[in-house]
């Protein structure tokens, strides 16, 4: 059952206000997508959330609140030591390359008493084509039948623009993330636009602003 039906509106609005304040205080290339990440996570009951790429903890700030609402485990993975970006009790930080960790993920989960079925997967790592192809290949087999996948940096360039018109310095990843997604889906996508479509069992939504953000939802998860 969606959290929007089990939690009162005031409780959810309080969290949204915190996320908005965070986004306004620390303007980054993902700040415009933090609220979307939260809202998109409310309609799918989650027990395991995996965050690939932590950075300064912007996505962690949102995902730990999602995990707390659902009573889920949050596993954060980064090649840099980002253990200290959160004190959330049900977060486990893994200091490792995410591709290397994927190879031992099932065994690691068994040791931790966790079912290796990912309900929410967030990907924001190198943004390179080869790496993203490997992430899709190595992590998607662990997705639960009903799941959502979030990709940041699907529309990268030398400059990114936020909703308020402010800009930031980015870099051109040669369509690395979106090309890997296109290859997996067997289709062509226009990352310069906002779009929504259904393809090969996925419902896909894309937000082109602020370096781009793409949501892939297994069709059966929609309510």
pLDDT in tens, 117-142: 999 999 999 999 999 999 999 999 99
- Write down the pLDDT at residue 101: 98
pLDDT surpasses 60 at 221: no
Structure tokens belonging to residue 152: 């940041």
Query: In the structure, what pLDDT confidence band is assigned to residue 3 with cuts at 50, 70 and 90?
Result: low
Structure tokens belonging to residue 57: 């903890």
Contact 43, 60 (CB under 8 A): no
Query: In the structure, what pLDDT confidence band is assigned to residue 222 with cuts at 50, 70 and 90?
Result: very low
DSSP string over 74-136: EEEEESS--GGG---TTEEEEES-HHHHHHTHHHHHHHHT----EEEEEE-S---HHHHHHHH
Question: How many structural domains comprise the chain?
Answer: 1
pLDDT in tens, 72-86: 999 999 999 999 999
pLDDT surpasses 70 at 223: no
Q: What is the mean pLDDT of residues 89-112?
A: 98
Helix, strand, or coil (residue 143): strand
Compute the mean pLDDT over every residue in the chain, rounded to the nearest whole number.
94
Structure tokens belonging to residue 176: 């690395």
Give 98-112 as a 3 state SS string. Answer: HHHHHHCHHHHHHHH
pLDDT in tens, 160-214: 999 999 999 999 999 999 999 999 999 999 999 999 999 999 999 999 999 999 9
User: Model pTM greater than 0.85?
Assistant: yes
* 176-185 vs 129-139: helix crossing angle, rounded to 10: 40
Helix, strand, or coil (residue 161): strand
Q: Which domain holds residue 23?
A: 3-221
CATH number at residue 25: 3.40.50.150
Structure tokens belonging to residue 117: 């079925």
> What is the rounded CA–CA span in Å between residue 95 and residue 108?
13
């Amino acid at each position: 059952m969606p959290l929007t039906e089990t939690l009162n509106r005031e409780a959810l609005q309080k969290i949204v206000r915190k996320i908005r304040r965070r986004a306004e205080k620390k303007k980054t290339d993902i700040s415009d997508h933090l609220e979307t990440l939260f809202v998109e996570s409310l309609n799918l009951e989650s027990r395991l959330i995996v965050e690939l790429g932590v950075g300064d903890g912007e996505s962690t700030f949102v995902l730990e609140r999602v995990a707390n609402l659902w009573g889920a485990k949050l596993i954060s993975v980064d090649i840099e030591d980002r253990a200290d970006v959160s004190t959330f009790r049900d977060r486990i930080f893994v200091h490792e390359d995410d591709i290397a960790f994927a190879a031992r993920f099932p065994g690691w989960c068994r040791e931790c008493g966790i079912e290796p079925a990912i309900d929410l997967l967030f990907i924001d790592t190198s943004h390179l084509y080869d790496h993203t192809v490997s992430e899709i290949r190595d992590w998607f087999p662990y997705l639960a039948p009903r799941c959502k996948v979030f990709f940041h940096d699907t529309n990268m360039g030398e400059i990114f623009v936020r909703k308020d018109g402010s800009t930031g310095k980015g870099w051109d990843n040669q369509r690395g993330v979106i090309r890997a997604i296109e290859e997996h889906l067997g289709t062509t996508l226009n990352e310069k636009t906002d779009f929504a479509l259904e393809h090969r069992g996925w419902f896909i939504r894309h937000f082109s602003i602020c370096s781009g953000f793409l949501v892939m939802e297994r069709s059966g998860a929609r309510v």
